[in-house]
Amino acid sequence: MPGRVVIVGTGIAGAAAAQTLRKDGFDGEVVMIGADRRPPYRRTMLTKDLLSGRVDADRIPLRSADAWQTMPVEIRTGTWAADLDPVGRSITTEDVSISTEDGSITTEDVGTGARATLDYDALLLATGGRARRLDPPGGPAWPGVLHVRDAEDALALRSRIGEAVGAPGPRGRLVIVGAGLIGCEVAAVAAAAGVAVTLLEAGPRPLAGTVPEAVSEMLADLHAGHGVTIETGVQVTGVVGETDSDTSGKGVSVVQAADGRKWTAGVVVGAVGMIPATELAQSAGLDVADGILVDEYCATSAPGVYAAGDAARFPDPFTGGTCRIEHWNHGQAHGAAAARAILGNGRPYREVPWCWTHQYGVNLQIAGTPQAADEWRTDGDLGAREFLSVGFAAGQEVAAVAAGRPKELRAARARIGEHLTWSGAPAAAR
C-alpha cells in the first residue's frame, strides 16, 4: 500500500479519488494540488445555477473545508504541477501568483512562483482540461470573447449578462458560438434573463452527435419559444471589435462568418469544446494521444502513475477502441476507479456514460454512446417533453435520451451496460 498519494487536479475526478481512498480505508497521506484557487466545487452548477444567479459562489463547494480536513485530505490550491519525474517519483510544484483581477489563471501566472518538490508513492493525474478557444492558436486573441470553464469564467459571464439586460442595441445582445451543452445552457440562462440571444453552430443542429435529430428539433423549438435565434452551418472566421458610439463607449463585437454574414453583440461566448490538459504527462514522457493513455485500471505508461477524468483516454468497452469522456459522472466514477486501482482493488472500468442538461425547466438525460446509434426509437411525447428515445447500433441498444422519465432512463442505461462485451482491447503500455 502506498504511503503518500498525490493527486494533481482539484476537479471531480481528483476529488472522487481522494474521497474513495479514505472511504476504502487508506490511512497514508493524501495530497491534492490544483492551480485553481478554489477547493473542489460543483462544475455542473456553473452554466446553470451560478450563471443564472440562483446560487452564489459560496454554494458551489463540493465539501466544506472542515470535511476535507477531517478525512483528512490536504488540498493545496493555487499550486501548479510544473514537472513530473516518473523515475524518481516526484513532482515539482510552483505557487501560482494570480495576476488577473477576476482571479482566473493565465499562462503568464505560471513560471514565477516559489517551487517545491513533492515525492509520491502513487500519483493520479486528474488534470481535466481547458476551454478550446474560438480564436486560432498562436494568433492574437479575438476581442470581447468569453469562454466558460471555471467558476471565475462563469461569474465574469454572469456580470456581462447582467450588463446586457435592458441595454440598447447590440450591447443588449449575446452571440454564442457552439450549440453544444455549454452553448445551449448559457443560451437558456441568458434568454431567461431577458437578453437577445443568437446561437451559432457549425454543425447541422444543436447537440448533434449527442441527441437524435428529433430531440435536437425539440430543443431548437424550446429555444425559439424563448426568443433564441439558432443559426446552423455557420463557420465563424473572426471576431472584431467595434466601438458603440451611442453608449458609454463600451465595446461591441462583430462576429463574422465564412459566408459573409455578421452579427453584432455586446457579449460573445465561445463554447466550442475543450482540450485535455496533457502537458505535464507529455513532458514526462508518458504516452499521450488526445488524452493521457491509460489501461482499464487507469494506469498510465509510467509505473505508479494513474490518470482519470476528462484528461484520460481509456479502453472503450463498447467499441474496443479508446475514448475520452468529459462528463461529471464519468469524472466521479473514473476517479473512484483510479483510487481503487491505487489501493490494489481495481477492476476493469466499464461504466456506461451518462449526463444531464437543464434548459428552461426541462431536464434531459443522456446515456451510452449516442454517436454510435444508427437507429432511434422513441416512446412518449417530445412536444410535452416526456419521452424516452433509445438508440441502436446493429440492432443493439447503445444509447438512451429521456426527459421526464428518469426510471426508464436508468433501466435503459443498465441494459446498455449488460450488452457491453469487454473486448480485451490492448491496454496502454504500462
Positions in the binding site for ligand NAD (CB under 6 A): 47, 177-183, 185, 200-203, 234, 236, 271-274, 326-327, 355-357
**What is the nearest approach in angstroms of ligand NAD to the Cβ of residue 150?**
12
**What is the nearest approach in angstroms of ligand NAD to the Cβ of residue 182?**
3
> For residues 89 and 327, which CB has a smaller minimum distance to ligand NAD in the complex?
327
> For residues 182 and 299, which CB has a smaller minimum distance to ligand NAD in the complex?
182
**What is the nearest approach in angstroms of ligand NAD to the Cβ of residue 399?**
15
> For residues 17 and 179, which CB has a smaller minimum distance to ligand NAD in the complex?
179
> For residues 20 and 47, which CB has a smaller minimum distance to ligand NAD in the complex?
47
**What is the nearest approach in angstroms of ligand NAD to the Cβ of residue 147?**
8
**What is the nearest approach in angstroms of ligand NAD to the Cβ of residue 287?**
22
Distance from C-alpha of 113 to C-alpha of 102, rounded to nearest angstrom: 19
Which of 256-265's residues contact partners 24+ apart within 8 Å by CB, and which partners?
257/200, 259/234, 259/235, 261/231, 261/234, 263/173, 263/175, 263/198, 263/200, 264/170, 264/173, 265/170, 265/173, 265/174, 265/175, 265/198
3-class SS letters over the chain: CCCEEEEECCCHHHHHHHHHHHHCCCCCEEEEECCCCCCCECHHHHHHHHHHCCCCHHHCECCCHHHHHHCCCEEECCEEEEEEECCCCEEEEEECCCCCCCCCCCHHHCCCCCEEEEECCEEEECCCEEECCCCCCCCCCCCCEEECCCHHHHHHHHHHHHHHCCCCHHHHEEEEECCCHHHHHHHHHHHHHCCEEEEEECCCCCCECCECHHHHHHHHHHHHHCCCEEEECCCEEEEEEEECCCCCCCEEEEEEECCCCEEEECEEEECCCEEECCHHHHHCCCCECCCEECCCCCECCCCCEEECHHHEEEECCCCCCEECCCCHHHHHHHHHHHHHHHCCCCCCCCCCCEEEEEECCEEEEEEECHHHCCEEEEEEECCCCEEEEEEEECCEEEEEEEECCHHHHHHHHHHHHHHCCCCCCCCCCC
* CB-based contact 346:340 (threshold 8 Å): yes
> For residues 238 and 348, which CB has a smaller minimum distance to ligand NAD in the complex?
238
Neighbour tally for 67: CB within 10 Å: 13
**What is the nearest approach in angstroms of ligand NAD to the Cβ of residue 26?**
30
**What is the nearest approach in angstroms of ligand NAD to the Cβ of residue 203?**
4
> For residues 76 and 132, which CB has a smaller minimum distance to ligand NAD in the complex?
132
**What is the nearest approach in angstroms of ligand NAD to the Cβ of residue 209?**
7
**What is the nearest approach in angstroms of ligand NAD to the Cβ of residue 374?**
20
> For residues 40 and 178, which CB has a smaller minimum distance to ligand NAD in the complex?
178
What residue is closest to ligand NAD based on CB? 180
> For residues 39 and 353, which CB has a smaller minimum distance to ligand NAD in the complex?
353
> For residues 36 and 185, which CB has a smaller minimum distance to ligand NAD in the complex?
185
**What is the nearest approach in angstroms of ligand NAD to the Cβ of residue 103?**
21
Distance from C-alpha of 359 to C-alpha of 378, rounded to nearest angstrom: 20
> For residues 94 and 152, which CB has a smaller minimum distance to ligand NAD in the complex?
152
> For residues 95 and 326, which CB has a smaller minimum distance to ligand NAD in the complex?
326
Whole-angstrom CA distances from 19 to 53, 220, 353 are 29, 39, 21
**What is the nearest approach in angstroms of ligand NAD to the Cβ of residue 313?**
14
